[in-house]
């Protein structure tokens, strides 16, 4: 089983900060990956998260379920 956590919230509420804090505490024997569904400034979160040790895939350009369904599947498969 792959454990999945969905971090969601309003613009600027602290999602990236929370993920970065969790990454700092991640057990050494676990592999963590972050699938970023960023709306707007493409790539910013991905670069920051990758610099902090996570495997990152991005799904830019819109909602995972309606606009970016295929890129979402591709991102998951790449992980
Ligand atoms: N006071 C306070 N500020 C916080 C907290 N978490 C994050 N911030 C600040 O809130 C601002 C936005 O945090 P981000 O982590 O970038 O928020 P985000 O939800 O990823 O933002 P978007 O990706 O733009 O939607 C930053 O200046 C953080 O330093 C918190 O728990 N308390
Ligand atoms: Mg963010």
Confidence band (pLDDT; 50, 70, 90) for 61?
Answer: confident
Tell me what pLDDT residue 71 has. Answer: 84
Output the CA 49–ligand 1 centroid distance in Å. 14
Confidence band (pLDDT; 50, 70, 90) for 14?
Answer: very high
Q: Is the CB of 10 under 6 A from ligand 1?
A: no
Confidence band (pLDDT; 50, 70, 90) for 33?
Answer: very high
- Please, what is the Cα angle at 38 between 34 and 15, to 5 degrees? 65
Q: Is the CB of 40 under 6 A from ligand 1?
A: no
Sign of CA dihedral 20, 21, 22, 27: positive
Tell me what pLDDT residue 47 has. Answer: 81
- C-alpha 76/C-alpha 57 separation (Å) is 8
pLDDT in tens, 38-59: 765 556 777 888 888 888 888 8
Q: Is the CB of 15 under 6 A from ligand 1?
A: yes
């Amino acid at each position: 089983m792959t454990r999945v956590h969905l971090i969601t919230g309003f613009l600027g509420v602290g999602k990236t900060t929370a993920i970065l804090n969790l990454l700092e505490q991640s057990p050494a024997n676990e592999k963590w990956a972050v699938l970023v569904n960023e709306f707007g400034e493409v790539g910013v979160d991905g670069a920051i998260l990758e610099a902090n040790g996570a495997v990152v895939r991005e799904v830019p350009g819109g909602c995972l379920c309606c606009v970016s369904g295929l890129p979402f599947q591709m991102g998951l498969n790449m992980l």
